[in-house]
Chains A and B, each alone.
Chain A
Amino acid sequence: MFTQYLSTFFYSLLGICMAIAGIEAIKDKSNPARIGTGFFWFILALLFIFGDLIPKAISGALVLVLGLLSLFKQVKVGKIAEIDASRASEYAKKLGIWLFLPSIVLALSAILVGSLTNWGGQIAIGIGAALALIVAMIETRAPIKLVYNDTQRMFRTMGTAGMLPQMLAMLGSVFTAAGVGTLVAKAVSGAFPTGNKLLGVTLYCIAMALFTIIMGNAFAAFAVITAAIGVPFVIAQGGSPVVVATLGMTAGYCGTLVTPMAANFNSLPVAFLEMKDQWGVIKQQLPIAVILLVLHIILMYILAF
Protein backbone atom coordinates (compact mmCIF):
# COMPACT_ATOMS: atom_id res chain seq x y z
CA MET A 1 0.00 0.00 0.00
CA PHE A 2 2.78 2.41 1.06
CA THR A 3 4.78 1.76 -2.11
CA GLN A 4 1.60 2.21 -4.15
CA TYR A 5 1.13 5.72 -2.70
CA LEU A 6 4.80 6.53 -3.16
CA SER A 7 4.86 5.54 -6.83
CA THR A 8 1.63 7.49 -7.44
CA PHE A 9 3.36 10.43 -5.78
CA PHE A 10 6.39 10.18 -8.08
CA TYR A 11 4.24 9.85 -11.20
CA SER A 12 2.25 12.91 -10.09
CA LEU A 13 5.49 14.83 -9.57
CA LEU A 14 6.50 13.89 -13.10
CA GLY A 15 3.09 15.01 -14.33
CA ILE A 16 3.48 18.39 -12.61
CA CYS A 17 6.85 18.91 -14.34
CA MET A 18 5.17 18.02 -17.64
CA ALA A 19 2.42 20.57 -16.97
CA ILE A 20 5.13 23.18 -16.31
CA ALA A 21 6.72 22.28 -19.64
CA GLY A 22 3.29 22.74 -21.26
CA ILE A 23 2.79 26.20 -19.69
CA GLU A 24 6.22 27.36 -20.85
CA ALA A 25 5.70 25.84 -24.32
CA ILE A 26 2.48 27.84 -24.79
CA LYS A 27 4.21 31.03 -23.60
CA ASP A 28 6.86 30.60 -26.32
CA LYS A 29 5.43 32.98 -28.96
CA SER A 30 8.24 32.17 -31.42
CA ASN A 31 7.03 28.57 -31.79
CA PRO A 32 4.45 28.25 -34.63
CA ALA A 33 3.23 24.98 -33.06
CA ARG A 34 3.06 26.30 -29.51
CA ILE A 35 -0.60 25.34 -28.95
CA GLY A 36 -0.07 21.76 -30.13
CA THR A 37 3.13 21.46 -28.11
CA GLY A 38 1.34 22.79 -25.03
CA PHE A 39 -1.46 20.26 -25.49
CA PHE A 40 1.11 17.48 -25.93
CA TRP A 41 2.56 18.19 -22.49
CA PHE A 42 -0.84 18.80 -20.83
CA ILE A 43 -2.20 15.47 -22.09
CA LEU A 44 0.91 13.71 -20.75
CA ALA A 45 0.52 15.55 -17.43
CA LEU A 46 -3.11 14.42 -17.24
CA LEU A 47 -2.19 10.79 -17.98
CA PHE A 48 0.61 10.77 -15.41
CA ILE A 49 -1.29 12.48 -12.59
CA PHE A 50 -4.81 11.07 -13.05
CA GLY A 51 -4.04 7.98 -15.17
CA ASP A 52 -5.39 5.58 -12.54
CA LEU A 53 -8.72 7.43 -12.32
CA ILE A 54 -9.48 8.08 -16.01
CA PRO A 55 -11.32 5.27 -17.88
CA LYS A 56 -8.73 3.30 -19.85
CA ALA A 57 -10.45 3.78 -23.22
CA ILE A 58 -10.25 7.56 -22.79
CA SER A 59 -6.56 7.32 -21.86
CA GLY A 60 -6.08 5.26 -25.01
CA ALA A 61 -7.83 7.92 -27.10
CA LEU A 62 -5.59 10.58 -25.54
CA VAL A 63 -2.50 8.55 -26.47
CA LEU A 64 -3.83 8.45 -30.03
CA VAL A 65 -4.18 12.26 -29.93
CA LEU A 66 -0.50 12.50 -28.90
CA GLY A 67 0.40 10.48 -32.00
CA LEU A 68 -1.75 12.66 -34.27
CA LEU A 69 -0.26 15.88 -32.85
CA SER A 70 3.19 14.55 -33.67
CA LEU A 71 2.10 13.23 -37.09
CA PHE A 72 0.82 16.68 -38.13
CA LYS A 73 3.98 18.40 -36.91
CA GLN A 74 2.20 20.14 -34.06
CA VAL A 75 4.84 19.25 -31.47
CA LYS A 76 7.99 21.33 -31.73
CA VAL A 77 10.70 22.01 -29.19
CA GLY A 78 10.62 25.75 -29.94
CA LYS A 79 13.04 28.32 -28.64
CA ILE A 80 14.66 27.49 -25.34
CA ALA A 81 16.69 30.08 -23.47
CA GLU A 82 20.40 29.29 -23.34
CA ILE A 83 22.18 28.57 -20.09
CA ASP A 84 23.56 31.69 -18.38
CA ALA A 85 27.22 31.28 -19.38
CA SER A 86 28.66 33.57 -16.70
CA ARG A 87 26.87 31.72 -13.90
CA ALA A 88 27.98 28.40 -15.43
CA SER A 89 31.67 29.29 -15.57
CA GLU A 90 31.57 30.96 -12.13
CA TYR A 91 30.22 27.80 -10.51
CA ALA A 92 32.39 25.50 -12.64
CA LYS A 93 35.38 27.22 -10.99
CA LYS A 94 33.82 27.30 -7.54
CA LEU A 95 32.49 23.73 -7.41
CA GLY A 96 34.65 21.88 -9.92
CA ILE A 97 34.49 18.15 -9.46
CA TRP A 98 31.82 18.58 -6.74
CA LEU A 99 29.30 19.15 -9.52
CA PHE A 100 29.29 15.35 -9.90
CA LEU A 101 28.24 14.88 -6.26
CA PRO A 102 24.45 14.91 -6.94
CA SER A 103 24.87 12.19 -9.57
CA ILE A 104 26.88 10.06 -7.15
CA VAL A 105 24.24 10.61 -4.45
CA LEU A 106 21.59 9.56 -6.97
CA ALA A 107 23.38 6.37 -8.03
CA LEU A 108 24.31 5.32 -4.49
CA SER A 109 20.95 6.06 -2.87
CA ALA A 110 19.04 4.32 -5.68
CA ILE A 111 21.27 1.25 -5.31
CA LEU A 112 20.91 1.29 -1.50
CA VAL A 113 17.12 1.66 -1.51
CA GLY A 114 16.88 -0.90 -4.30
CA SER A 115 18.91 -3.53 -2.51
CA LEU A 116 17.95 -2.93 1.14
CA THR A 117 14.18 -2.61 0.69
CA ASN A 118 11.65 -4.52 -1.35
CA TRP A 119 9.97 -1.35 -2.60
CA GLY A 120 11.09 -1.94 -6.16
CA GLY A 121 13.23 -0.05 -8.63
CA GLN A 122 10.73 2.74 -9.35
CA ILE A 123 10.63 3.93 -5.75
CA ALA A 124 14.41 3.61 -5.49
CA ILE A 125 14.86 5.83 -8.54
CA GLY A 126 12.31 8.34 -7.28
CA ILE A 127 13.96 8.66 -3.87
CA GLY A 128 17.41 8.84 -5.45
CA ALA A 129 16.31 11.58 -7.85
CA ALA A 130 14.73 13.60 -5.02
CA LEU A 131 17.82 13.36 -2.78
CA ALA A 132 20.12 14.24 -5.67
CA LEU A 133 18.04 17.32 -6.51
CA ILE A 134 18.19 18.48 -2.88
CA VAL A 135 22.00 18.07 -2.85
CA ALA A 136 22.27 19.96 -6.14
CA MET A 137 20.07 22.79 -4.81
CA ILE A 138 22.16 23.10 -1.66
CA GLU A 139 25.54 23.13 -3.37
CA THR A 140 24.50 25.54 -6.12
CA ARG A 141 22.36 27.70 -3.78
CA ALA A 142 20.07 28.05 -6.77
CA PRO A 143 16.89 30.09 -6.28
CA ILE A 144 13.62 28.19 -6.90
CA LYS A 145 13.07 30.25 -10.04
CA LEU A 146 16.22 28.76 -11.53
CA VAL A 147 15.23 25.20 -10.58
CA TYR A 148 11.87 25.79 -12.26
CA ASN A 149 13.58 27.19 -15.32
CA ASP A 150 16.10 24.35 -15.65
CA THR A 151 13.33 21.78 -15.23
CA GLN A 152 11.17 23.22 -18.00
CA ARG A 153 14.26 23.63 -20.20
CA MET A 154 15.23 19.96 -19.81
CA PHE A 155 11.69 18.63 -20.26
CA ARG A 156 10.96 20.74 -23.33
CA THR A 157 14.29 19.79 -24.91
CA MET A 158 13.35 16.10 -24.59
CA GLY A 159 10.06 16.51 -26.49
CA THR A 160 8.62 13.51 -28.32
CA ALA A 161 12.05 11.82 -28.44
CA GLY A 162 12.03 11.64 -24.65
CA MET A 163 8.64 9.93 -24.61
CA LEU A 164 9.61 7.45 -27.33
CA PRO A 165 11.03 4.71 -25.03
CA GLN A 166 7.73 4.48 -23.11
CA MET A 167 5.78 4.40 -26.37
CA LEU A 168 7.96 1.55 -27.65
CA ALA A 169 7.39 -0.34 -24.41
CA MET A 170 3.65 0.31 -24.84
CA LEU A 171 3.87 -1.05 -28.39
CA GLY A 172 5.55 -4.15 -27.00
CA SER A 173 2.67 -4.73 -24.57
CA VAL A 174 0.14 -4.20 -27.36
CA PHE A 175 2.01 -6.60 -29.66
CA THR A 176 1.97 -9.22 -26.92
CA ALA A 177 -1.76 -8.74 -26.34
CA ALA A 178 -2.47 -8.91 -30.10
CA GLY A 179 -0.49 -12.15 -30.34
CA VAL A 180 2.30 -10.81 -32.56
CA GLY A 181 4.97 -12.50 -30.45
CA THR A 182 3.21 -15.85 -30.70
CA LEU A 183 2.86 -15.49 -34.46
CA VAL A 184 6.55 -14.72 -35.01
CA ALA A 185 7.49 -17.51 -32.62
CA LYS A 186 5.36 -19.92 -34.64
CA ALA A 187 6.99 -18.84 -37.89
CA VAL A 188 10.48 -19.12 -36.40
CA SER A 189 9.86 -22.48 -34.75
CA GLY A 190 8.73 -23.78 -38.15
CA ALA A 191 12.28 -23.20 -39.35
CA PHE A 192 14.28 -23.98 -36.19
CA PRO A 193 13.82 -26.55 -33.41
CA THR A 194 13.11 -25.11 -29.93
CA GLY A 195 14.90 -27.68 -27.79
CA ASN A 196 18.51 -26.57 -28.25
CA LYS A 197 19.75 -23.95 -25.74
CA LEU A 198 22.80 -22.79 -27.71
CA LEU A 199 20.77 -22.50 -30.89
CA GLY A 200 18.13 -20.50 -29.01
CA VAL A 201 20.70 -18.06 -27.60
CA THR A 202 22.36 -17.67 -31.01
CA LEU A 203 19.03 -17.12 -32.73
CA TYR A 204 17.94 -14.50 -30.18
CA CYS A 205 21.18 -12.49 -30.22
CA ILE A 206 21.44 -12.48 -34.01
CA ALA A 207 17.76 -11.61 -34.42
CA MET A 208 18.15 -8.68 -32.00
CA ALA A 209 21.12 -7.37 -34.01
CA LEU A 210 19.41 -7.93 -37.38
CA PHE A 211 16.12 -6.29 -36.40
CA THR A 212 18.06 -3.37 -34.96
CA ILE A 213 20.01 -3.04 -38.22
CA ILE A 214 16.74 -2.88 -40.16
CA MET A 215 14.95 -0.49 -37.78
CA GLY A 216 17.93 1.49 -36.53
CA ASN A 217 16.58 1.24 -33.00
CA ALA A 218 17.32 -1.52 -30.49
CA PHE A 219 14.51 -0.34 -28.20
CA ALA A 220 11.97 -1.04 -30.95
CA ALA A 221 13.46 -4.45 -31.71
CA PHE A 222 13.60 -5.49 -28.04
CA ALA A 223 9.90 -5.97 -27.30
CA VAL A 224 9.15 -7.84 -30.53
CA ILE A 225 12.18 -10.12 -30.62
CA THR A 226 12.17 -10.87 -26.90
CA ALA A 227 8.51 -11.89 -27.02
CA ALA A 228 8.97 -13.86 -30.23
CA ILE A 229 12.35 -15.52 -29.67
CA GLY A 230 13.89 -14.60 -26.31
CA VAL A 231 11.05 -16.03 -24.21
CA PRO A 232 10.11 -19.21 -26.16
CA PHE A 233 13.63 -20.16 -27.30
CA VAL A 234 15.78 -19.17 -24.30
CA ILE A 235 13.83 -18.31 -21.14
CA ALA A 236 11.42 -21.22 -21.61
CA GLN A 237 14.48 -23.56 -21.72
CA GLY A 238 15.36 -22.37 -18.20
CA GLY A 239 17.42 -19.28 -19.12
CA SER A 240 17.61 -16.56 -16.47
CA PRO A 241 15.29 -13.69 -17.52
CA VAL A 242 17.61 -10.93 -16.25
CA VAL A 243 20.62 -12.27 -18.17
CA VAL A 244 18.65 -12.91 -21.34
CA ALA A 245 16.96 -9.50 -21.31
CA THR A 246 20.04 -7.46 -20.37
CA LEU A 247 22.38 -9.09 -22.86
CA GLY A 248 19.61 -9.27 -25.46
CA MET A 249 19.34 -5.50 -25.46
CA THR A 250 23.09 -4.94 -25.83
CA ALA A 251 23.23 -7.62 -28.55
CA GLY A 252 20.85 -5.25 -30.33
CA TYR A 253 23.32 -2.39 -29.79
CA CYS A 254 25.85 -4.42 -31.83
CA GLY A 255 23.39 -3.91 -34.68
CA THR A 256 23.15 -0.18 -33.96
CA LEU A 257 26.92 0.05 -34.48
CA VAL A 258 26.71 -1.09 -38.10
CA THR A 259 23.48 0.40 -39.45
CA PRO A 260 23.16 3.65 -41.41
CA MET A 261 19.58 3.69 -40.07
CA ALA A 262 20.96 4.91 -36.72
CA ALA A 263 21.71 8.31 -38.24
CA ASN A 264 22.34 10.11 -34.93
CA PHE A 265 25.24 7.85 -34.11
CA ASN A 266 26.66 6.82 -37.48
CA SER A 267 25.80 9.51 -40.05
CA LEU A 268 25.70 12.78 -38.11
CA PRO A 269 29.33 12.40 -36.90
CA VAL A 270 30.41 11.94 -40.53
CA ALA A 271 28.92 15.33 -41.26
CA PHE A 272 30.18 17.01 -38.06
CA LEU A 273 33.71 15.76 -38.56
CA GLU A 274 33.67 16.63 -42.28
CA MET A 275 34.61 13.10 -43.26
CA LYS A 276 34.66 12.02 -46.90
CA ASP A 277 33.52 8.43 -46.43
CA GLN A 278 29.80 8.10 -45.59
CA TRP A 279 30.62 4.72 -44.00
CA GLY A 280 33.72 5.97 -42.16
CA VAL A 281 32.31 5.63 -38.64
CA ILE A 282 30.60 2.29 -39.30
CA LYS A 283 33.80 0.84 -40.78
CA GLN A 284 35.63 1.66 -37.54
CA GLN A 285 32.88 0.04 -35.48
CA LEU A 286 32.32 -3.08 -37.57
CA PRO A 287 35.16 -5.31 -36.23
CA ILE A 288 34.30 -4.55 -32.60
CA ALA A 289 30.58 -5.04 -33.28
CA VAL A 290 31.16 -8.52 -34.73
CA ILE A 291 33.42 -9.59 -31.85
CA LEU A 292 30.96 -8.20 -29.30
CA LEU A 293 28.03 -10.06 -30.88
CA VAL A 294 29.91 -13.37 -30.72
CA LEU A 295 30.85 -12.65 -27.10
CA HIS A 296 27.18 -11.89 -26.33
CA ILE A 297 26.17 -15.33 -27.58
CA ILE A 298 28.90 -17.03 -25.55
CA LEU A 299 28.35 -15.03 -22.36
CA MET A 300 24.54 -15.31 -22.50
CA TYR A 301 24.85 -19.08 -22.88
CA ILE A 302 27.24 -19.33 -19.92
CA LEU A 303 25.49 -16.88 -17.55
CA ALA A 304 21.86 -17.71 -18.32
CA PHE A 305 22.01 -21.46 -17.69
Chain B
Amino acid sequence: MSYLPLLGVLIILLGFALKWDTFAVVIIAAFVTPLLAGMSITKVLTLLGQSFLDNRMVSLYFLVLPMIGLVESHGLRQVAINAIKKLKRATPGKVLSAYMLIREVLNALGISLNGQIAFVRPLVAPMATASAASYKLSDADKELLKGRSAAVDNLGNFFSQNCFMASSGVLLISSTMKSLKHGVSPLQIALYSIPFAVITFILTYVYNYLMDKRLAVKEEA
Protein backbone atom coordinates (compact mmCIF):
# COMPACT_ATOMS: atom_id res chain seq x y z
CA MET B 1 0.00 0.00 0.00
CA SER B 2 1.42 3.37 -1.04
CA TYR B 3 1.44 6.40 1.18
CA LEU B 4 0.71 8.74 -1.77
CA PRO B 5 -2.97 9.38 -0.84
CA LEU B 6 -1.74 11.11 2.31
CA LEU B 7 -0.79 13.99 0.01
CA GLY B 8 -4.55 14.68 -0.04
CA VAL B 9 -4.39 15.56 3.64
CA LEU B 10 -1.36 17.73 2.89
CA ILE B 11 -3.32 19.63 0.21
CA ILE B 12 -5.99 20.42 2.80
CA LEU B 13 -3.45 21.46 5.42
CA LEU B 14 -1.52 23.68 3.00
CA GLY B 15 -4.59 25.12 1.35
CA PHE B 16 -6.18 26.07 4.67
CA ALA B 17 -2.89 27.38 6.11
CA LEU B 18 -2.17 29.53 3.05
CA LYS B 19 -5.80 30.75 3.00
CA TRP B 20 -6.55 29.60 -0.54
CA ASP B 21 -10.21 29.46 -1.60
CA THR B 22 -11.48 26.96 1.01
CA PHE B 23 -14.35 25.61 -1.07
CA ALA B 24 -12.06 24.93 -4.06
CA VAL B 25 -9.31 23.39 -1.92
CA VAL B 26 -11.75 20.83 -0.50
CA ILE B 27 -13.02 19.78 -3.93
CA ILE B 28 -9.51 19.64 -5.41
CA ALA B 29 -8.33 17.45 -2.52
CA ALA B 30 -11.37 15.21 -3.04
CA PHE B 31 -10.43 14.91 -6.73
CA VAL B 32 -6.67 14.42 -6.36
CA THR B 33 -6.61 11.97 -3.41
CA PRO B 34 -8.30 9.01 -5.14
CA LEU B 35 -6.20 9.70 -8.28
CA LEU B 36 -3.10 9.29 -6.11
CA ALA B 37 -4.57 6.06 -4.77
CA GLY B 38 -4.46 4.81 -8.36
CA MET B 39 -8.11 5.14 -9.45
CA SER B 40 -8.97 6.03 -13.05
CA ILE B 41 -10.52 9.43 -13.86
CA THR B 42 -13.95 7.94 -14.53
CA LYS B 43 -13.82 6.03 -11.27
CA VAL B 44 -12.75 9.16 -9.40
CA LEU B 45 -15.61 11.21 -10.88
CA THR B 46 -18.07 8.46 -10.03
CA LEU B 47 -16.76 8.39 -6.47
CA LEU B 48 -17.03 12.18 -6.26
CA GLY B 49 -20.64 12.17 -7.55
CA GLN B 50 -21.63 9.29 -5.29
CA SER B 51 -20.05 10.90 -2.21
CA PHE B 52 -21.73 14.23 -2.97
CA LEU B 53 -25.14 12.53 -3.16
CA ASP B 54 -24.52 10.38 -0.08
CA ASN B 55 -23.84 13.50 1.94
CA ARG B 56 -26.73 15.64 0.69
CA MET B 57 -28.33 15.43 4.10
CA VAL B 58 -25.67 17.79 5.49
CA SER B 59 -27.20 20.62 3.45
CA LEU B 60 -30.69 19.89 4.76
CA TYR B 61 -30.19 22.72 7.24
CA PHE B 62 -30.86 25.07 4.29
CA LEU B 63 -34.52 23.97 4.55
CA VAL B 64 -34.81 25.98 7.75
CA LEU B 65 -33.66 29.18 6.02
CA PRO B 66 -36.99 30.34 4.50
CA MET B 67 -38.53 30.41 7.99
CA ILE B 68 -35.49 32.10 9.56
CA GLY B 69 -35.45 34.67 6.74
CA LEU B 70 -39.11 35.42 7.30
CA VAL B 71 -38.89 35.95 11.07
CA GLU B 72 -35.71 37.95 10.52
CA SER B 73 -37.45 40.36 8.15
CA HIS B 74 -40.19 40.72 10.77
CA GLY B 75 -37.94 41.96 13.53
CA LEU B 76 -36.34 38.89 15.14
CA ARG B 77 -33.10 40.78 15.63
CA GLN B 78 -34.82 43.77 17.26
CA VAL B 79 -36.61 41.47 19.72
CA ALA B 80 -33.32 39.79 20.64
CA ILE B 81 -31.61 43.17 21.01
CA ASN B 82 -34.41 44.43 23.27
CA ALA B 83 -34.13 41.33 25.43
CA ILE B 84 -30.37 41.78 25.84
CA LYS B 85 -30.79 45.50 26.58
CA LYS B 86 -33.10 44.57 29.46
CA LEU B 87 -30.36 42.52 31.16
CA LYS B 88 -29.61 43.81 34.63
CA ARG B 89 -26.30 45.62 34.53
CA ALA B 90 -25.19 44.43 37.95
CA THR B 91 -21.61 43.45 37.13
CA PRO B 92 -19.71 42.72 33.91
CA GLY B 93 -19.54 39.02 34.75
CA LYS B 94 -23.30 38.78 35.28
CA VAL B 95 -24.07 40.61 32.04
CA LEU B 96 -21.81 38.25 30.11
CA SER B 97 -23.16 35.08 31.75
CA ALA B 98 -26.75 36.16 31.11
CA TYR B 99 -25.90 36.89 27.47
CA MET B 100 -24.31 33.46 27.18
CA LEU B 101 -27.46 31.81 28.49
CA ILE B 102 -29.62 33.63 25.92
CA ARG B 103 -27.14 32.69 23.18
CA GLU B 104 -27.19 29.02 24.14
CA VAL B 105 -30.98 28.78 24.34
CA LEU B 106 -31.44 30.49 20.96
CA ASN B 107 -28.77 28.26 19.42
CA ALA B 108 -30.54 25.16 20.69
CA LEU B 109 -33.64 26.42 18.88
CA GLY B 110 -31.67 26.80 15.66
CA ILE B 111 -31.45 30.58 15.76
CA SER B 112 -27.77 31.13 15.03
CA LEU B 113 -27.26 34.86 15.27
CA ASN B 114 -24.10 36.41 13.93
CA GLY B 115 -23.06 37.04 17.51
CA GLN B 116 -19.73 38.81 17.13
CA ILE B 117 -20.96 41.36 14.60
CA ALA B 118 -24.61 41.78 15.55
CA PHE B 119 -24.38 41.58 19.34
CA VAL B 120 -20.92 41.62 20.90
CA ARG B 121 -19.60 44.75 19.17
CA PRO B 122 -22.65 47.01 19.36
CA LEU B 123 -24.24 45.68 22.55
CA VAL B 124 -22.60 43.14 24.82
CA ALA B 125 -19.06 44.55 25.10
CA PRO B 126 -20.30 48.14 25.72
CA MET B 127 -22.81 46.87 28.32
CA ALA B 128 -20.12 44.86 30.11
CA THR B 129 -17.87 47.91 30.24
CA ALA B 130 -20.69 50.21 31.32
CA SER B 131 -21.67 47.92 34.19
CA ALA B 132 -18.10 48.23 35.47
CA ALA B 133 -18.42 52.01 35.62
CA SER B 134 -18.01 52.10 39.41
CA TYR B 135 -14.72 50.17 39.18
CA LYS B 136 -11.47 51.88 38.35
CA LEU B 137 -10.65 50.05 35.15
CA SER B 138 -7.10 50.10 33.88
CA ASP B 139 -6.49 49.88 30.13
CA ALA B 140 -5.56 46.24 30.59
CA ASP B 141 -8.91 45.62 32.33
CA LYS B 142 -10.81 47.25 29.47
CA GLU B 143 -8.91 45.11 27.01
CA LEU B 144 -9.70 42.06 29.14
CA LEU B 145 -13.43 42.89 29.15
CA LYS B 146 -13.49 43.19 25.37
CA GLY B 147 -11.67 39.90 24.94
CA ARG B 148 -13.94 38.21 27.48
CA SER B 149 -17.07 39.48 25.69
CA ALA B 150 -15.92 37.95 22.40
CA ALA B 151 -14.84 34.76 24.19
CA VAL B 152 -18.22 34.33 25.88
CA ASP B 153 -19.98 34.56 22.52
CA ASN B 154 -17.69 31.90 21.00
CA LEU B 155 -18.02 29.58 23.99
CA GLY B 156 -21.82 29.87 24.05
CA ASN B 157 -22.03 29.49 20.30
CA PHE B 158 -19.72 26.49 19.83
CA PHE B 159 -20.91 24.21 22.60
CA SER B 160 -24.66 24.72 22.20
CA GLN B 161 -25.08 24.68 18.40
CA ASN B 162 -25.17 20.90 18.19
CA CYS B 163 -28.13 20.74 20.59
CA PHE B 164 -30.20 21.70 17.53
CA MET B 165 -30.71 18.56 15.45
CA ALA B 166 -30.93 20.41 12.12
CA SER B 167 -27.63 22.25 12.56
CA SER B 168 -24.86 21.75 10.01
CA GLY B 169 -22.55 20.25 12.66
CA VAL B 170 -25.04 17.56 13.70
CA LEU B 171 -25.82 16.71 10.08
CA LEU B 172 -22.12 16.52 9.23
CA ILE B 173 -21.49 14.13 12.13
CA SER B 174 -24.48 11.97 11.20
CA SER B 175 -23.57 11.83 7.52
CA THR B 176 -19.88 11.10 8.15
CA MET B 177 -20.65 8.36 10.66
CA LYS B 178 -23.00 6.80 8.12
CA SER B 179 -20.20 6.61 5.57
CA LEU B 180 -17.93 5.13 8.25
CA LYS B 181 -20.57 2.41 8.78
CA HIS B 182 -21.40 3.47 12.33
CA GLY B 183 -24.65 5.36 11.69
CA VAL B 184 -26.04 7.63 14.41
CA SER B 185 -29.23 9.70 14.20
CA PRO B 186 -29.26 13.52 14.41
CA LEU B 187 -31.61 13.33 17.41
CA GLN B 188 -29.16 11.19 19.39
CA ILE B 189 -26.30 13.55 18.54
CA ALA B 190 -28.34 16.57 19.68
CA LEU B 191 -29.14 14.76 22.93
CA TYR B 192 -25.51 13.91 23.69
CA SER B 193 -24.54 17.51 22.94
CA ILE B 194 -26.49 18.77 25.94
CA PRO B 195 -23.91 17.83 28.64
CA PHE B 196 -21.19 20.06 27.22
CA ALA B 197 -23.60 22.94 26.58
CA VAL B 198 -24.37 22.83 30.32
CA ILE B 199 -20.78 22.21 31.45
CA THR B 200 -19.44 25.06 29.31
CA PHE B 201 -22.06 27.40 30.73
CA ILE B 202 -21.18 26.50 34.32
CA LEU B 203 -17.44 26.82 33.68
CA THR B 204 -17.87 30.19 31.99
CA TYR B 205 -20.19 31.38 34.77
CA VAL B 206 -17.53 30.60 37.39
CA TYR B 207 -14.85 32.14 35.16
CA ASN B 208 -16.88 35.38 34.91
CA TYR B 209 -17.63 35.30 38.63
CA LEU B 210 -13.91 35.14 39.40
CA MET B 211 -13.32 38.07 37.05
CA ASP B 212 -15.95 40.13 38.90
CA LYS B 213 -14.26 39.31 42.20
CA ARG B 214 -10.88 40.39 40.93
CA LEU B 215 -12.19 43.66 39.49
CA ALA B 216 -14.04 44.43 42.74
CA VAL B 217 -10.95 43.76 44.90
CA LYS B 218 -9.01 46.18 42.75
CA GLU B 219 -11.63 48.84 43.42
CA GLU B 220 -11.22 48.51 47.20
CA ALA B 221 -7.45 48.62 47.06
Interface residues of A (CB under 8 A from B): 10-11, 13-14, 17-18, 47-48, 51-52, 54-64, 66-68, 70-71, 73, 75, 83-84, 87-93, 95-97, 99-100, 102-104, 106-107, 110-111, 114-115, 120-122, 124-126, 128-130, 132-133, 136-137, 140, 142, 146-147, 150-151, 153-155, 158, 160-184, 214-217, 219-220, 222-224, 226-227, 231, 235, 241-243, 245-247, 249-250, 253, 256-257, 261, 264-266, 268-270, 272-277, 280-281, 283-285, 287-288, 291-292, 295-296, 299, 303
Chain B: interface size category: 35 or more
Sample of 7 A–B contacts (CB below 8 Å): A62-B49, A70-B23, A99-B74, A120-B185, A124-B165, A268-B117, A285-B151
* Docked-complex contact B176 and A172, CB < 8 angstroms: yes
Whole-angstrom distance from the CB of B93 to the nearest CB of chain A?
13
* Docked-complex contact B51 and A121, CB < 8 angstroms: no
> Which of the residues A68, A110, A168, A176 comes within 8 Å of B24, measured between beta carbons?
A68
* Docked-complex contact B52 and A47, CB < 8 angstroms: yes
> Which of the residues A75, A106, A161, A172 comes within 8 Å of B179, measured between beta carbons?
A172
* Docked-complex contact A99 and B30, CB < 8 angstroms: no
Q: Does B141 contact A (CB under 8 A)?
A: no
Produce 1/0 per residue, B37-49, CB < 8 A to A. 1010010111111
B residues in contact with A68, CB < 8 Å: 24
Bound complex: CA A111 to CA B194 (Å):
14
> Which of the residues A132, A246, A250 comes within 8 Å of B158, measured between beta carbons?
A250
A residues in contact with B69, CB < 8 Å: 150-151, 153-154
Whole-angstrom distance from the CB of B120 to the nearest CB of chain A?
6
Interface residues of B (CB under 8 A from A): 1, 3, 5-6, 8-9, 12-13, 16-17, 21-24, 26-31, 33-34, 36-37, 39, 42, 44-79, 82, 106, 108-111, 116-117, 120-121, 125, 143-144, 146-151, 153-155, 158-159, 162, 164-166, 168-169, 171-177, 179-180, 182-189, 192-193, 195-196, 199-200, 203-204, 207
Closest B residue to A115 by CB, please name it. B187
Bound complex: CA A40 to CA B7 (Å):
28
* Docked-complex contact B52 and A13, CB < 8 angstroms: no
> Which of the residues B36, B75, B125 comes within 8 Å of A91, measured between beta carbons?
B75
Sorted nearest first, the 4 A-B pairs with minimum C-beta distance are: A92-B75, A67-B27, A59-B49, A150-B69
B residues in contact with A137, CB < 8 Å: 70
Beyond A173-B179, A183-B5, A273-B150, whether A166 also contacts B166 by CB under 8 A is: no
> Which of the residues A62, A142, A261, A275 comes within 8 Å of B70, measured between beta carbons?
A142
* Docked-complex contact A215 and B73, CB < 8 angstroms: no
A residues in contact with B46, CB < 8 Å: 56-57, 60
> Which of the residues A56, A120, A220 comes within 8 Å of B49, measured between beta carbons?
A56
> Which of the residues A110, A133, A171 comes within 8 Å of B165, measured between beta carbons?
A110
> Which of the residues B3, B33, B200 comes within 8 Å of A174, measured between beta carbons?
B33
* Docked-complex contact B30 and A170, CB < 8 angstroms: yes
* Interchain pairs with CB closer than 8 A, number: 442
With a 10 A CB-CB cut-off, give which of A100, A214, A284 has the most chain B CB atoms: A284
Closest A residue to B58 by CB, please name it. A166
Bound complex: CA A227 to CA B108 (Å):
28
> Which of the residues A103, A226, A253, A266 comes within 8 Å of B110, measured between beta carbons?
A103
* Docked-complex contact B195 and A299, CB < 8 angstroms: yes
* Docked-complex contact A245 and B52, CB < 8 angstroms: no
* Docked-complex contact B23 and A67, CB < 8 angstroms: yes
A residues in contact with B72, CB < 8 Å: 83, 150
Bound complex: CA A283 to CA B196 (Å):
21
> Which of the residues A106, A146, A173, A243 comes within 8 Å of B67, measured between beta carbons?
A106
Bound complex: CA A126 to CA B53 (Å):
17
Whole-angstrom distance from the CB of B160 to the nearest CB of chain A?
10
* Docked-complex contact A160 and B179, CB < 8 angstroms: no
* Docked-complex contact A273 and B162, CB < 8 angstroms: no
* Docked-complex contact A173 and B148, CB < 8 angstroms: no
A residues in contact with B77, CB < 8 Å: 88
* Docked-complex contact B150 and A269, CB < 8 angstroms: yes
With a 10 A CB-CB cut-off, give which of B27, B42, B73, B78 has the most chain A CB atoms: B73
Closest B residue to A102 by CB, please name it. B67
> Which of the residues B26, B171, B177 comes within 8 Å of A241, measured between beta carbons?
B177
A residues in contact with B50, CB < 8 Å: 56, 59-60, 173
Whole-angstrom distance from the CB of B47 to the nearest CB of chain A?
6
* Docked-complex contact B60 and A14, CB < 8 angstroms: yes
* Docked-complex contact B169 and A219, CB < 8 angstroms: yes
